[in-house]
Structure 1
């Protein structure tokens, strides 16, 4: 992740926690539920953001070491607040794409929600995360694929930001043997199109673009978006990809 992108997420952190974290919770629940029974060892959460996975992990695995990693200092600060009072939980401000060698074949689980699609080399990141698993450990990852919906605010924003972008993408999970691979849909509701745009532009994935291109660009994009958006409350059902894999014995890798 570039310095500019990390800085954008620092600035977006508070708004992201307030707006998107509650709306994304069903996918977090799905990712944590996918872990099932785990062997001994720490649970690693790369690209943890504000750490919305933590409460569910503590409930399901109360006596485990849990470590969140994120490059954004603003996100990590909010994650530390969420982790306050839990002695077995720690946060690392650093690169989640290539894990420190200390985690190699040491973890009972690696779980990540909506971080993989932001990384410059998702295949390499998944390989690094998988290699952190001990035998019978579990990898559970949810991320936004290149196409999340046919019609909705996500698809309309993508069309405005990247007109003519190809729908196909290199499969990040092609490097793994998967136990589960499916698209998981849940409804998200926004009060109206203007509310969504404000959150997306300033508290979501467009923040870095908004910083780089300036207020005039954002205002022009807002006008185009609202012109084609429906009036009133807006509910859509985007699809995220959920993948899981089981760690193998060292001789099997």
Structure 2
């Protein structure tokens, strides 16, 4: 039976809410290790235009990128559709010297005025983005002239993925259920390579589109280890700007 996009999105929200605490525990354990925070801060800062202040973190999840950028001095708003993830993010606000704002909202259609952001960032969002062409155009509208779009992600599904090894844990079983073949087929970037993603950004009106590999983060994965069910992955930083 064919499902609607809204039904798939609700299933994904349930997955991320159910496993939010476990997900964040791993993220925080990694950020506590030598070199992690500094490497992620450099990965984003290097692509953000000088003078950027208002930053929107799409699919903020448990908020760690938003918190990192806020600590670097940016005024950050993070949005996500998973209540469980947002609960993890908000639990960290009290101890933060320059806390971001966390809102429940859709990364594919952020509820902000045109030209209201200096930069838009995301980590591990592109692969699970539904209706990517429409979302990219919406993000382009949100940026001020000269503003930047920066997304760090990897290719988590092979182009002809056969599902791989069977799920070994309850979380992996839930992931396979939420992101089954029908769902993944609707996600334009889930199996897309670097060239295809860059082309989509250009089609949405962005200029100076580029994709930079991030070997420093790959080496940290190899040294510090990755989450169960994952393997070290060469991430790319996709970046572009709105002309002006």
- For the aligned pair, the TM-score class normalised by the smaller chain equals 0.5 to 0.7
TM-score after normalising by structure 2: 0.67
| Higher RCO, 1 vs 2 (CA within 8 Å, ≥6 residues apart) | 1
Query: 1:238 maps to what in 2?
Result: 233
Query: 2:135 maps to what in 1?
Result: 125
Contact 1:145/1:241 (8 A) holds in 2: no
Query: 2:145 maps to what in 1?
Result: 135
Of 4, 15, 23, 2:11 maps to 4
Cα separation, 2, equivalents of 1:56 and 1:87 = 10
Q: Does 1:90 align with 2:113?
A: no
Post-superposition shift, 1:73? Answer: 0.3
Query: 1:79 maps to what in 2?
Result: 89
Deviations for 1:177-197, whole angstroms, at most 9, x for unmatched residues?
33431332413259999x824
Contact 2:213/2:236 (8 A) holds in 1: yes
Q: Does 1:59 align with 2:71?
A: yes
Instruction: Report the 3-state secondary structure (helix = DSSP H, G, I; strand = E; otherwise coil) of the residue aligned with 1:237.
Output: coil
Post-superposition shift, 1:248? Answer: 1.8
Cα gap change, 1:46/1:74 in structure 2, threshold over 3 Å: closer, same or farther? Answer: same
CA RMSD across the alignment:
3.6
Q: How many pairs does the alignment contain? A: 201
Contact 1:49/1:76 (8 A) holds in 2: yes
Cα gap change, 1:69/1:31 in structure 2, threshold over 3 Å: closer, same or farther? Answer: farther
Q: Does 1:100 align with 2:111?
A: yes
Contact 1:39/1:136 (8 A) holds in 2: no
For structure 2, which runs of at least 5 residues remain unmatched after alignment? 1-7, 167-179
Contact 1:35/1:109 (8 A) holds in 2: no
TM-score after normalising by structure 1: 0.65
Cα separation, 1, equivalents of 2:162 and 2:20 = 20
Instruction: Report the 3-state secondary structure (helix = DSSP H, G, I; strand = E; otherwise coil) of the residue aligned with 1:83.
Output: coil
For structure 1, which runs of at least 5 residues remain unmatched after alignment? 149-154, 201-235
Post-superposition shift, 1:47? Answer: 0.4
Post-superposition shift, 1:244? Answer: 0.7
Of 180, 192, 213, 1:183 maps to 213
Cα separation, 1, equivalents of 2:15 and 2:241 = 34
Larger radius of gyration: 1
